[in-house]
Amino acid sequence: MSTNAVTSIQSHEDVVKLGNGTVALEAKYSFNNPYSINGPFGTVDVTLLDEPELQSAVGTVNIQTLYGMGSLTTLHYTGTTAYDGSTGITTIIALGKGTMSAWPDPKKAVTAKITMTLSPGFGSGTLTVEGFLQDYTLTATSVQVG
Overall pTM surpassing 0.75 (yes/no): yes
pLDDT at 16 over 90: no
For the stretch 87-101, pLDDT in tens is 999 999 999 999 999
User: What are the structural domain ranges in the chain?
Assistant: 21-145
For the stretch 105-126, pLDDT in tens is 999 999 999 999 999 999 999 9
Stretch 132-144: mean pLDDT = 96
Calculate the alpha carbon distances from 99 to 20, 40, 60, 107, 111 in Å.
Answer: 30, 16, 12, 6, 8
**Over the chain, what is the mean pLDDT?**
88
More confident residue, 70 or 129: 129
For residue 17, what pLDDT is reported? Answer: 55
The third-level CATH classification (topology) of the domain covering 21-145 is Porin (2.40.160)
pLDDT at 18 over 60: no
Whole-number Å distance between alpha carbons of 145 and 111: 29
Decide the pairing of beta strands 108-118 and 124-129.
antiparallel
